[in-house]
Structure 1
Amino acid sequence: MLAVSLYVYAFLSEFILIYPVYALLFTDTGISVAEVSSLFVIWSVTGMVLEVPSGAWADAVSRRLLLVLGPLLSGAGFALWVLFPSYWVFAAGFVLWGAGESLVSGAYEALAYEEMERRGQSGGYARVMGRATALGLAGSAAAIGLASPVFAAGGYPAVGVASVLACVLCAATALTLPEHRARGGAGQWSYLATLREGIGLARADRGVLRAVLLVAFVTAIWGALEEYVPFLGAETGVARATIPLLILLVWVGATAGGLLAGPAERLRSRGYAALLGLAALAMAVGALSGHPAGFVAIALAVGAFQLAQVLADVRLQERITGPARATVTSVAGLGTNVVTLGAYTAYGTASASLPHGVTFALLALPYLVIALIPLAAR
């Protein structure tokens, strides 16, 4: 039942039909591109500011409670967008959405790991998280597929209602998750004590610090590059109608990577480092080919990065001790956000004078250095 609830939660959290069309809502309201960019900044800053504090709140109070509140805040933001479309309402919606994502980040992994550990099933954490990741991608794909007919039938109100309903169902699913906190856990640790404990552990324990850095860097770079895949596809010269198929191929690779997490859980440090190195080379070769066939290599690379991301989270959860698990996981989430912003900045700077293929290849190269992090733990 635990795994099923985690799977349903992961799917519903991404089954948001307003995702593919909210940019159209903004432009139809008269919002400029510069204003849209400022909204994205508000969203990112909200997540960064609340990431670690929300993790400490999950540890000090209840992880399940935050998993309930997170989707409700996001759903409230989507509802505001549709009901009262204007710049400042969009900004408020992004604040709510960013806050909702922060509440879930850290709490989801911490609850899953400790509940599985309590049942003596922590060895299956990688398999469960890999499948949950794959189902999250499936939820996104399903939302994209349904958004068009739903929008055609009922416009923004229809996709808004569907998105809010998905958020409410996601929150309801969180209520089915078990939560058994050990003595000294929720209710016996003050918020500030938990916050200090989590940050202190991430700073003082080298094993935990390396795991935090690994999660941040492995997750952020390929996640940022994925946003630019349509530009890379257009650069190959294919028809615009073909670009979604190339994006779909990349998504298939990411989904396969998540599903392989269970069998690959026993991968040693050298094998993990080799996985990152080979994925970086595949990404570079595929991007530099300048041919649509290169997307096969890119899909394989993305699958490997997705697999490495899940395994990095497994390594982090295995190294965390004490009652501040969600706090430490949120520190990794904050690091991911920071590195992601750096990757966006680097891509924007490089792409101003370089082709997208070359920019992809250059940003894949840091993975050759990141591969040294797990080797340093040996």
Structure 2
Amino acid sequence: MVTVLIRWTWLRAGLHNGWWLVTSVYLVVDAGLSPAQLVLIGAAQSGFALVCEVPAGVVADTISRKWSLVISQVLMGTAMVTTGLVDSFPALLATQVLWGISWTFASGSDVAWITDELDQPDRITAVLARAARAELTGAATGLIVLGLLAWATCRDLTIVIAGVAMLSLALYVALRFTEHHFVPVRTARWSGSWTIFRRGISLVRRSRAIRLIFAATFLVNGAWSVGRLFQIQLIDLGLPTDPDPTIWFTGLGVAGLLVGALTLRVAGHRIGGTHARNDYALAATAGVLGTLLLAFARDPVAGAIAVVLISGIVKPLTQVIGTVWVNARTTADIRATTHSFLAQLKYLGEITCGLTIATIARLTTLPLALTACALLFAATAVLMHQRADRGAGRTGIHT
């Protein structure tokens, strides 16, 4: 079952990351969206996902983690296909919102599924770290394959092809994922769902460590608005237009993912251990340095180095540490719901901070908007030096 998870993670990462590479260029070059519109799309996407996240997590905890993932694949593939068929801002906004909603049925459901099906608590941290590395290597493969396909054909066609492939991945989940240890709520589902929701709230209220990682997730994902500004900043810095920009962004994306896989390989034994909090703070500090370098770079080479630093260290480390941190402090009956709470803080950070970054980008300059992102990374680093609950040591993650 671990192999099934790893293969699915690798395939999904390849498709959605390759799709996003081509889509990110499509939004700027073909659709001609402005920096403010790009960030506003992210904020709107996060807003709808925020509303749907906990209900989707409760569905996974009451009905099925496996079928929640199937729903996610279908919605995701549909959103990806339709993105390549439109080029107006309102239509693209709608497709990206649907894409955001699709993730709510997957966030936490995959972790909850493998944790319960494996039923070996001593192995789960290593499995999640391995899945994270597979996600990065799969993403690198997707960037190369779909990036080259977009260069050889056209961007909108590549976007549609990736979406169709993602739709077909729903069949893989339906046929290969088992669900032997999950017991669905068969009676009084509405009241049972409400009980699960309240248990999740109660857990968060009792655990200072979970509240700490929730706050850090809010800040670091608000700072990740920088990820939507990579392309336009590098183009402004003079990124060559020959060959096609897609090729340049493919190379940068692959470099960042390979650095991320190496980072997780080196830090793998520390992710669920006593250094998790310090590693999270160091990753946020790297975000400060990388974002400031990108903001005030004089040429595309310096900007490219900054992009690799941010995408290769900051994002993979903070995501994996946050997931393992929460997973170690929850129970099987509310696992997907608790991970949904974590995802809600991610979306809330993207909405509130993203709107602020969009306003700064629209009223001032792009370097100042990037500087604001760096300040959010700095706040995250400071926060993670705070002490969490003493019970953290019992889970293997000292805070």
State the TM-score, normalized to the length of structure 1: 0.80
Range moving further from structure 2, 317-326 or 133-142: 133-142
1:229 aligned partner: 230
2:393 aligned partner: none
The Cα of 1:319 is off from its aligned counterpart by 0.6
Aligned-residue identity in percent = 21
Counterparts of 1:80-99 in structure 2, within 5 Å, are 93-94=95-96, 96-99=98-101
- Opposite residue 62 of structure 2, the aligned amino acid is A
The Cα of 1:31 is off from its aligned counterpart by 9.9
CA RMSD of aligned residues (A): 3.9
In structure 2, relative to structure 1, the CA distance for the partners of 1:345 and 1:63 (3 Å cut) is same
Distance 2:233 2:386 in 1: 29
1:336 aligned partner: 346
Range moving further from structure 2, 95-104 or 357-366: 357-366
- Residues 270 and 375, structure 1, Cα contact 8 Å, conserved in 2: no
- Residues 222 and 302, structure 1, Cα contact 8 Å, conserved in 2: no
Range moving further from structure 2, 68-77 or 298-307: 298-307
- Residues 273 and 375, structure 1, Cα contact 8 Å, conserved in 2: no
Q: Find the residue that maps to 2:76 and give its secondary structure.
A: helix
- Residues 272 and 371, structure 1, Cα contact 8 Å, conserved in 2: no
In structure 2, relative to structure 1, the CA distance for the partners of 1:131 and 1:269 (3 Å cut) is closer
In structure 2, relative to structure 1, the CA distance for the partners of 1:302 and 1:195 (3 Å cut) is same
2:165 aligned partner: 165
The Cα of 1:123 is off from its aligned counterpart by 3.9
2:380 aligned partner: 367
In structure 2, relative to structure 1, the CA distance for the partners of 1:126 and 1:264 (3 Å cut) is farther
In structure 2, relative to structure 1, the CA distance for the partners of 1:51 and 1:140 (3 Å cut) is farther
Counterparts of 1:134-153 in structure 2, within 5 Å, are 134-138=136-140, 140-142=142-144, 144-148=146-150, 151-152=153-154
Q: Find the residue that maps to 1:324 and give its secondary structure.
A: helix
2:204 aligned partner: 202
Q: Find the residue that maps to 1:323 and give its secondary structure.
A: helix
The reply on whether 1:179 has 2:163 as its aligned counterpart is: no
2:104 aligned partner: 102
Distance 2:96 2:281 in 1: 39
Per-residue displacement from partner, 1:280-308 (whole Å, max 9, x unpaired)?
Answer: 45325633454534643553344332213
The Cα of 1:171 is off from its aligned counterpart by 4.0
Distance 2:104 2:313 in 1: 26
The Cα of 1:103 is off from its aligned counterpart by 0.8
Distance 1:254 1:299 in 2: 9
Distance 1:26 1:238 in 2: 17
2:396 aligned partner: none
Per-residue displacement from partner, 1:215-261 (whole Å, max 9, x unpaired)?
Answer: 4434x145321221234434545545586355554444334334445
The Cα of 1:47 is off from its aligned counterpart by 1.3
Match of 1:214 among 204, 213, 216: 216
In structure 2, relative to structure 1, the CA distance for the partners of 1:326 and 1:46 (3 Å cut) is same
The reply on whether 1:125 has 2:127 as its aligned counterpart is: yes
Match of 2:260 among 226, 245, 254: 254
2:278 aligned partner: 271
2:65 aligned partner: 63
In structure 2, relative to structure 1, the CA distance for the partners of 1:79 and 1:283 (3 Å cut) is closer
The Cα of 1:58 is off from its aligned counterpart by 0.1
Q: How many residues align?
A: 373
Match of 1:300 among 289, 294, 309: 309
- Residues 39 and 225, structure 2, Cα contact 8 Å, conserved in 1: no
Q: Find the residue that maps to 2:345 and give its secondary structure.
A: helix
